[in-house]
Structure 1
């Protein structure tokens, strides 16, 4: 079975907006997360779509879903975790509680603040699971990447042609993700910034799926302004 998982459990601290986390800010006529959710609902291959939401905002999300006729029967809302991977694991727990555990279960995870993801990108992630246990959406790096351990001097400049910028979706066979995550030490878990790194830390292959430059992540106020301009310009 195939499951969508939209990660909306963060507090959006880097945008410095006190009123609400960034994923719930309005973009056009609806919250940012709703644009993202609609892209996933366009994919008729999902058996269910889950939203992992910070506990303080579950009622807000459920009211927003109800206002457009999306009850829990269409979209499942679960409590987010302490971090990104915690939210993914909570969603997996919800999946297995309702549908049982299976080696065939696949989960397509996506940032709620990437509202311009294309259906073709979601489908490419799904197709990649025919030959891998995990895949990551990426685009080639267009700027030179500079590495610096201390932030004062350059330590190295990698060859740009081997560099990619990570996006989402990130897609996993659930049983493999659980197994690899369970093998991590607490120290290793503290270094994680995304779920694909779980596989990288354990030398497990992660396939690359081509992303799109319009699949931006809304992290800062400038990103938010760019997204508004994109929407006004007809980018969906």
Structure 2
């Protein structure tokens, strides 16, 4: 089986003084999160779409889904976690309660505020998560990347040809992800902001899926303006 976890556990503080998390802001005529859910709903390969929301926004999320996507039995809203990986593991634990999970089952994890995910990216995530156990969606870095450990001086300038910008989805074999996560120390869990790093620190391969420049994450007010322009062009 194939599941998708829509990560909507954040409150979007970088969007500024808003009265609601950024995933609930309107993009065109419907909330950002609805655009994102719809991209996965049209793919019949998914057993279930799990939306992970802040606890205080679960009812609101359910109401939006009922309003914009009526009769959608595939969508389930559950509570997200404090950190990103906690949110993913909440989805894993929810899936674990199902009686018929198999060794080959995978989970596709995606930011709720990346509404321009394409069918190709979704299909390739499914394909390579099955083949390699883990994959990450990336685009080549177009700017020079500078590393600094103190925030004041350059430590190194990595070769840009080897650098990529991470997007989502990130997709994993469910059983493998849970095993590796449980092997990570509590201290390591606090600094692991990216699920793929759980695989890399355990010397597990993570396949790179080619992303799209348009697969933007709506984080700041300017991003919402860009997203509105992209929407008008589609």
TM-score (norm 1): 0.95
Cross-structure match for 2:154:
154
Q: Which residue of 2 aligns with 1:105?
A: 105
Aligned to 1:86: 86
- Flag the 1:173–1:130 CA change in 2: closer, same or farther, 3 A: closer
**Partner Cα distance (1:123, 1:133) in 2:** 15
Aligned partner of 1:63 in structure 2 is 63
Name 2:116's counterpart in structure 1.
116
Measured in 1, the distance between the counterparts of 2:76 and 2:26 equals 21
Whether 2:175 is the aligned partner of 1:200: answer: no
Point out the more displaced range, 12-21 or 52-61.
12-21
2:138–2:210 contact (8 Å) kept in structure 1: yes
- For 1:126, the equivalent position in structure 2 comes to 126
Give CA-to-partner distance per residue, 1:184-211, whole Å, 9 cap, x none. 1111001111111111122211111110
Question: RMSD of the TM alignment (CA)?
Answer: 1.3
| Conservation of the 8 A alpha-carbon contact between 1:65 and 1:71 | no
> How many residues were matched structurally?
234
Structure 2 CA distance for aligned equivalents of residues 92 and 70 of structure 1: 26
Structure-2-length-normalised TM-score: 0.96
SS in structure 1 opposite 2:98? helix
- The equivalent residue for 1:171 is 171
In structure 2, C-alpha distance between the alignment counterparts of 1:70 and 1:176, rounded to whole Å: 34
Structure 2 unaligned residues grouped into runs of 5+: none
Spell out the pairing of 1:34-53 with structure 2 (5 A cutoff): 34-53=34-53
